[in-house]
């Protein structure tokens, strides 16, 4: 008999209630700034769990928010870090363009639970600094 415990591992997963809490916190912050943004929350693999497009948010922000969340979840790295890395190494930056859905725009942040990435938030519709601040507010709601 094979000991399957040695061949598997337990993982933490973001629940829909967790995603809802994150979106609500981010949306409250965006509304306090009068910014029409789109907020996407994904699971740890970058698959969409929840999307909210605030009134008057640009239609293009729907895909960009999802791509920011996907980028942050799948690489376990805030999206604005990719911009810095690309500036430091232009050859690397050129190569980033070949990775589908990876975006160096600010506003994508991995979501952590006890140090483990359980998902990500992506925000689009404001400036880079605004998107980052709104995403951070959502991430902070996870605790």
Does the residue 22 lie in any domain? yes
d(CA 133, CA 125) in angstroms, rounded, equals 12
Does the residue 7 lie in any domain? no
pTM: 0.92
75 and 102 Cβ atoms separated by less than 8 Å: yes
Does the residue 103 lie in any domain? yes
Does the residue 2 lie in any domain? no
* pLDDT tens by residue, the chain, 143 residues: 788 888 888 888 999 999 999 999 999 999 999 999 999 999 999 999 999 999 999 999 999 999 999 999 999 999 999 888 888 888 877 787 778 888 989 999 999 999 999 999 999 999 999 999 999 999 999 98
Does the residue 5 lie in any domain? no
User: pLDDT, tens digit, for every residue of 11-46?
Assistant: 889 999 999 999 999 999 999 999 999 999 999 999
Q: How many domains in the chain?
A: 1
- The side-by-side arrangement of strands in the sheet containing 38-43 is 48-53, 38-43, 116-124, 108-113
Q: In sequence order, which residues have a C-beta less than 8 Å from that of residue 23 and are 6 or more positions away?
A: 39, 41, 50, 52, 138
The CATH code of the domain that includes 36 is: 3.30.450.150
Domain of 131, in residue numbers: 12-140
Does the residue 1 lie in any domain? no
Phi, psi of 29 (to 5 degrees): -65, -45
């Amino acid at each position: 008999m094979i000991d399957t415990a040695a061949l598997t591992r337990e993982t933490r997963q973001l629940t829909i209630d967790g995603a809802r809490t994150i979106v609500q916190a981010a949306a409250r912050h965006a509304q306090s700034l009068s910014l029409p943004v789109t907020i996407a929350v994904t699971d740890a693999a970058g698959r969409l769990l929840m999307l909210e497009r605030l009134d008057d948010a640009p239609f293009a922000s729907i895909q960009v928010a999802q791509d920011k969340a996907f980028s942050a979840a799948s690489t376990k790295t805030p999206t604005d870090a990719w911009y810095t890395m690309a500036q430091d190494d232009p050859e690397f930056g050129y190569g980033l363009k070949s990775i589908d859905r990876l975006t160096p725009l600010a506003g994508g942040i991995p979501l952590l639970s006890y140090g483990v990435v359980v998902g990500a938030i992506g925000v689009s519709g404001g400036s880079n600094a605004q998107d980052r601040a709104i995403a951070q507010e959502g991430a902070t709601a996870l605790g």
